Amino acid sequence: MNLTLFESMDARQLKQYIRFLLWHYRVMDSFWYLNIAEQFDEATADRLNERVWDRIAAMAAKDLVKRFEIAERGLKGFVAALRYWPWCILVDYRIAESPEEVLITVPSCPTQEARIRRGLKEYNCREMHRREFSSFARQIDPLIETRCLFAPPDPRQDGVMCRWRFYMKTD
């Protein structure tokens, strides 16, 4: 990887480049899914998307822990790593922490909003995000449990697109 381009950038330029990367990251994900659904069918696109995000999230969590030296485990470590996860930044997750649980609330989802603008139905994202969040959380601490409280195509609650709960497994 050649990173010399960034050596001459000031903070404003670096932030602009990060915005560029994140926007294209989201767009690439969208077009990948839409093209698989068009080429094959939505069920195939769903299955592939679930597998990809399961794998990517685990790899990302492991890499984030290493790169940013996140030593905490449990819910604190999960939140520390999650704040670096591109989707946390892109979607602007609202994270509520307590000693017993972490709630992630998504007031609005750029992916779902783009689909609606284009006349497409909402994407049934529950299983994909369950796998994404679960594999991410397991890399931080295998005892973290993931529970979807609601997600499309469920009806929105309080004007919120989706909400997820994370808590420690107790036996």
Q: What's this model's pTM, rounded to 2 decimal places?
A: 0.93
- Judged on CB neighbours under 10 Å (0-12, 13-18, 19+), 86 is middle
Would 119 be classed as within a structural domain? yes
3 is a domain residue: no
Residues listed for the chain: 171
Quick check: is 34 in a domain?
Answer: no
6 located within any domain? no
- Tens of pLDDT, residue by residue over 38-71, are 999 999 999 999 999 999 999 999 999 999 999 9
Any domain includes 75:
yes
- For β-strands 162-168 and 144-150, DSSP reports them as antiparallel
Residue 39 maps to a domain: no
Query: What pLDDT score does 11 carry?
Result: 98
* Number of domains observed in the structure of the chain: 1
* 29, 37 contact by CB (below 8 A): no
* Calpha distance 120→106 (Å, rounded): 20
Please, are residues 108 and 93 in contact by the beta-carbon 8 Å criterion?
A: no
Domain housing 119: 47-168
Q: Which residues of the chain have pLDDT under 70?
A: 171
Q: Give the CATH number, domain containing residue 153.
A: 3.30.1380
